[in-house]
A and B are shown apart, each in its own frame.
Chain A
């Protein structure tokens, strides 16, 4: 700046200097307008903070806030001061009181739930009536929208049922096909086994016969000689006996050898048969597995195809339903009369419910107080209704919370005003420590203290 001024002509320098002065004065003017003592060139001024507790303490409603806190402290103290229950009569009275209080609470909850259900039903019916009138008819429970919803549900259900039925029928048909096929395979395998068994048995029988013939031929000469000798009448009894015994031995040996072969063949036939059965069973099982696998694949494919079909149909139905619903919503929301009626019904029902519930609550509290009095008189002690005290504490705490919020809204309004006046862009609440930020606590506290007590800000205004 200095360099530029020195390079300009004296008149220009003068004008430039005037301009700079004007500029600085202008800025200073701006800053003075904004707030006193505000350093426009320092960025620290852009951030402020307040000690909310101090500001709230300066509020005209702070005493009221404090009074509510005091009430809570007293009720807390009441809740903590339990009577000393000493005698059995007092203990019995206390137990009876607790039992009766619990019973009254359960009854109250039941009644309140019934009231809620009643008013909810009333409101739904009234809303349905309004919607039906606005959309033109519809006598389904839940009104025309409910009717649409019900219709959609029924159509979806029908789709699902039809899909399930188709799949069941396909599954049954596949099962029947598989059963018939496997039965046929089983019969073929059994026939094959039987044929092979028969062939083997014939083969072995032929072998046995040949063996028997072979044995008979081998003993033929000896047997003939012995038979010839036995036909000789002059044969001594000893000689006859010996020949007969020899002939018998030949018969016995042949029979033994023939039986031995038969036994071996029988064992071979049994083993062969068993191997055939085993092989047939393996083949049957392989076929069964393959058949089942094929059927499962077919079933899965069919299920997928049905699912795709179902999804397409459901999407189409859902789209139709959503369109209908959107159309109905559009019609209803575009109708100010309907909206007003709906709001009115909701507000009226809510108000009626709240009035009814308040009456029920008052009666419930009277019942509890009466129970406390009754058992206190019996026990010659002053029992406390802890639940009632807690309810009172909660109520006062809620009042305190609401009042605090109301105060805080007004504080925020004042913070906003002060911040804007002083050119502060952001204000923090109760910081841990201040640096270059501006402490607005006193200024805001002053502004808050000057607020009229009875005219709280109607709506919160944030930053």
Chain B
């Protein structure tokens, strides 16, 4: 879009009739340049990425309909907990596990029953607002630290209206913002192994710290112990996890470049649209 704007301004001196008054045209060009210089602020630049929006999902989660559903879910969970406590009394470990799974299933089913329609409606509202505003991607507000188009109010206003919300028929346009599902990357064997090694180390280190901290110990000694704990933990993190983190970052960056993307965000921060690069990243890491 920037290139288009610049090209438009460069066409100013081109018409032949203006060539008859060259001095005036030149002055006009200079004036245009000056105006352009003044106008070429970040606001102009912002228009170039006006297809990136963000929404405050926590604000949507705080809408009365969601709050009411959460309240109902909590009540149901309390009921289940009471029933569960009564049912597992005197049962074997295996039976307790089976009952626990059964109760978890019931809770999950109720959760789906309550929240799915609301989440579906919210997603439809986000998609409709995004389509109306020609957005190619909508991310969660938490990952935008500056700028961007906030569509939260539009979405909450739409959700506040009665009746069904019809999502747009068209799929979102191609986006220069990619997203990657970290859970699929974390599920890779080498990632899982490294994670387990680190958690094991952390657990051992924690037990050592617990044994060292005694009531009545001076604050200075406590600080030293804590600092030592953090240092050792960080050293282990650098040793075990950092190489894989770097490798992943490199893979994502490579995929982003090959797809011509601006950047890649984590899938849980993407709300609508975007380009899914998970499969390519997983492939690059294997």
> A22–B182 Cα gap in the complex (Å)?
49
Interface residue? A81 (CB, 8 A): yes
Judge if B153 is at the interface, Cβ distance under 8 Å.
no
Asked whether, in the complex, the Cβ of A433 is within 8 Å of the Cβ of B252, the reply is yes
Q: A34, A77, A415 — which one has the most chain B CB atoms within 10 A of its CB?
A: A77
Residues of B within 8 A of A178 (CB): none
- Within the assembled complex, what's the spacing in Å between the Cα atoms of A78 and B281? 43
* Residue of chain A at shortest CB distance from B9: A23
A431 and B213 form a contact (CB under 8 A): no
| B264 close to A43 (CB less than 8 A) | no
Instruction: For the complex, count residues of B whose C-beta is within 8 A of A.
Output: 75
CB–CB A73/B230 < 8 A: yes
> Does A427 have its Cβ within 8 Å of any Cβ on chain B?
yes
* Chain B proximity of A260: nearest CB distance (Å): 77
Taking the complex as formed, is B22 at the interface, i.e. its CB lies under 8 A from any CB of chain A?
Answer: yes
- Residue A135, interface by CB 8 Å: no
The count of residues in chain A whose C-beta lies closer than 8 Å to any C-beta of chain B is 67
| Cβ A27 vs Cβ B262 within 8 A | no
Interface residue A426 (Cβ < 8 Å from any Cβ of B): yes
Task: State whether A70 touches B227 (Cβ < 8 A).
Answer: yes
| Contact between chains at A431 and B263 (CB < 8 Å) | yes
Q: Are A29 and B37 in contact (CB under 8 A)?
A: yes
Q: Complex: how many Å from CA A452 to CA B136?
A: 40
Instruction: Say yes or no for B138: interface residue by CB 8 A criterion.
Output: no
Question: A15: which B residues are within 8 A, CB to CB?
Answer: 13, 22-23, 25-26
Q: Bits for A425-452, please: 1 = Cβ < 8 Å to B, else 0.
A: 1111111111111000000000000000
Known interface pairs A30-B40, A43-B1. Does A431 touch B265 (Cβ–Cβ under 8 Å)?
Answer: yes
Q: Decide if B2 touches A40 in the complex (CB within 8 Å).
A: yes
A-B contact count (CB 8 A): 214
Q: Given A19-B30, A22-B30, A78-B213, check contact A426 B144 (CB 8 Å).
A: yes
A59 to chain B, nearest CB (A): 14
B213 to chain A: which residues have CB within 8 Å?
74, 77-78, 81
9 contacts between A and B (CB under 8 A): A78-B215, A412-B146, A425-B46, A425-B147, A427-B146, A433-B248, A434-B253, A436-B176, A436-B256
Instruction: Tell me the B residues contacting A by CB distance below 8 Å.
Output: 1-3, 6, 9-10, 13-14, 16, 19, 22-23, 25-26, 29-30, 32-34, 36-37, 40-42, 45-46, 48-49, 52, 139, 142-148, 176, 178-180, 182, 206, 209-216, 222-223, 225-227, 229-230, 248-249, 251-253, 255-257, 259-266, 281
Chain A interfacial positions (CB closer than 8 Å to B): 1, 4, 7-9, 11-12, 15-16, 18-20, 22-23, 26-27, 29-31, 34, 40-47, 49-50, 52, 66-67, 69-71, 73-74, 77-78, 80-81, 382, 384, 411-412, 415-416, 419-420, 423-437, 462-463
- Beyond A45-B45, A433-B178, A435-B259, list 19 extra A-B contacts (CB 8 Å): A19-B30, A23-B10, A26-B37, A30-B36, A41-B2, A47-B49, A73-B229, A73-B230, A412-B145, A412-B146, A419-B147, A425-B46, A425-B49, A426-B49, A426-B144, A428-B263, A431-B265, A432-B264, A463-B144
